[in-house]
């Protein structure tokens, strides 16, 4: 499983540890990923995603999973999240 947020695309960054004597060694900055269940109002069911904590705050701020996916760019979404987005758009168009 990759260390990438399924909704925002946030991934691992690299940089340096810098010691007191200014010796630089490579390190990885990992995203704060959490396994969460998000409820879709249009489909009436929940979906499990592995997302960053910052993405969870963004989902709450935008008003839920449906609103977040409606505004999200397709390039940042994982294939599973993209399928959920398409299903939600179909359900909203039918309603």
The CATH number covering residue 75 comes to 2.30.170.40
- Its domain, for residue 65, covers 13-94
Would residue 73 count as lying in a domain?
Answer: yes
72, 51 Cβ separation under 8 angstroms: no
Would residue 4 count as lying in a domain?
Answer: no
Would residue 1 count as lying in a domain?
Answer: no
pLDDT at 39: 96
Q: Could you give the number of structural domains in the chain?
A: 1
Would residue 6 count as lying in a domain?
Answer: no
Q: What would the pLDDT profile of 29-62 be if each residue is shown by its tens digit? A: 999 999 999 999 999 999 999 999 999 999 999 9
pLDDT at 37: 97
């Amino acid at each position: 499983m990759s260390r990438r947020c399924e909704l925002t695309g946030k991934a691992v960054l690299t940089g340096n540890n810098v010691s007191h004597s200014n010796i630089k060694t490579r390190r990885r900055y990992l995203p704060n990923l959490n396994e969460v269940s998000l409820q879709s109002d249009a489909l009436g069911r929940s979906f499990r995603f592995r997302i960053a904590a910052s993405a969870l705050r963004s989902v709450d701020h935008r008003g839920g999973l449906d609103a977040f996916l409606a505004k999200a760019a397709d390039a940042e979404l994982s294939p599973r999240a993209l399928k959920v987005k398409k299903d939600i758009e179909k359900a909203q168009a039918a309603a």
